[in-house]
Structure 1
Amino acid sequence: MRPSHLLLAVLVAAVWGVNFTVIDIGLDHFPPLLFSALRFLVAALPAVFLVGRPKVAWKWIVAVGLTLGVAKFGLLFIGMDAGMPAGLSSLVLQIQAVFTALFAAVALGERPTGTRLLGMLVALAGIGVAAVDEGASGPLGAFLIVIGAAACWGLSNILTRKAAPPDALNWMVWVSTVPVLPLLALSLLTEGPSADLAALRGFDWAGAGTLLYVAWGATVFGFGAWGWLLRRHPASTVAPFSLLVPVFGMSSAALFLGESVSPLRWCAAALLVGGVALTTLTPGRREAGAEEAVVPVPAPESATPAVGSGTR
Structure 2
Amino acid sequence: MSIHPAAPALTAAVLFGASTPLAKLLAGSIHPVLLAGLLYLGSGVGLGVLLLVRAGLGGSEPGDASMRIPRRDWPWLAGAILFGGVLGPALLMAGLTGTSGAAASLLLNLEGVLTAVLAWVAFKENADRQIVAGMLAIVAGGVLLAWEPGGASFSAGALLVAGACLCWAIDNNLTRKVSSNDAMLLACLKGAIAGACNTLLALAAGAPWPAGLPLAMSLLVGLLGYGVSLTLFVVGLRTLGTARTGAYFSVAPLFGVVLSLAIWPELPGPLFWAAAALMTVGVWLHVRERHEHEHTHEALEHTHAHRHDEHHRHAHDFPWKGEEPHVHPHRHEVLTHKHPHYPDIHHRHRH
Same-fold status (TM-score > 0.5): yes
Give the TM-score normalised by structure 2: 0.60
- Give the CA deviation at 1:145: 6.2
Residue of structure 1 equivalent to 2:220: 212
Residue 67 in structure 1 maps to residue 91 in structure 2: no
Amino acid at match of 2:188: V
Aligned residues: 279
Structure scoring higher RCO (CA < 8 A, sep ≥ 6) equals 1
| Alignment partners' CA distance in 1, 2:190 and 2:44 | 8
8 Å Cα contact 2:47-2:188 kept in structure 1: yes
Which deviations, in whole Å up to 9, do the C-alpha atoms of 1:248-296 show, x marking residues without a partner? 211111121457643234323433553466468757899x99989x9xx
Change (3 A) 1:255 1:147: farther
8 Å Cα contact 1:105-1:111 kept in structure 2: yes
Amino acid at match of 2:33: L
Amino acid at match of 2:84: L
| Alignment partners' CA distance in 2, 1:11 and 1:265 | 21
Residue of structure 2 equivalent to 1:136: 150
Change (3 A) 1:22 1:269: same
Once superposed, what is the RMSD of the aligned Cα atoms?
4.8
Residue of structure 1 equivalent to 2:44: 44
Residue of structure 1 equivalent to 2:176: 161
Counting only pairs closer than 5 Å after superposition, residues 193-204 of structure 1 correspond to structure 2 as 193=206, 196-197=207-208, 200=209, 202-204=210-212
Change (3 A) 1:138 1:276: same
Which deviations, in whole Å up to 9, do the C-alpha atoms of 1:227-258 show, x marking residues without a partner? 78999xx759x979867644421111112145
Q: What is the identity percentage for the equivalent residue pairs of Structure 1 and Structure 2?
A: 25
Which deviations, in whole Å up to 9, do the C-alpha atoms of 1:206-239 show, x marking residues without a partner? 342132222x2223444556778999xx759x97
Amino acid at match of 2:186: W
Amino acid at match of 1:40: Y
Change (3 A) 1:229 1:176: closer
User: Residue 122 of structure 2: which of 102, 107, 112 is its match?
Assistant: 107
Larger Rg, first or second structure (1 or 2): 2
Which deviations, in whole Å up to 9, do the C-alpha atoms of 1:178-229 show, x marking residues without a partner? 223442454367xx31xx02xx1x4241342132222x22234445567789
| Alignment partners' CA distance in 2, 1:97 and 1:27 | 25
Amino acid at match of 1:268: A
Which deviations, in whole Å up to 9, do the C-alpha atoms of 1:162-186 show, x marking residues without a partner? 2233211011001123223442454
Residue of structure 2 equivalent to 1:26: 26
Which consecutive unaligned segments of at least 5 residues does structure 1 have?
Answer: 295-306
Change (3 A) 1:228 1:61: closer
Which consecutive unaligned segments of at least 5 residues does structure 2 have?
Answer: 53-61, 303-341, 346-351
Give the TM-score normalised by structure 1: 0.66
| Alignment partners' CA distance in 1, 2:270 and 2:188 | 40
8 Å Cα contact 1:66-1:178 kept in structure 2: no
| Alignment partners' CA distance in 2, 1:9 and 1:60 | 21
8 Å Cα contact 1:280-1:308 kept in structure 2: no
Question: Whose strand fraction is larger, Structure 1's or Structure 2's?
Answer: 2
| Alignment partners' CA distance in 2, 1:7 and 1:106 | 26
| Alignment partners' CA distance in 2, 1:253 and 1:177 | 28
Residue of structure 2 equivalent to 1:15: 15
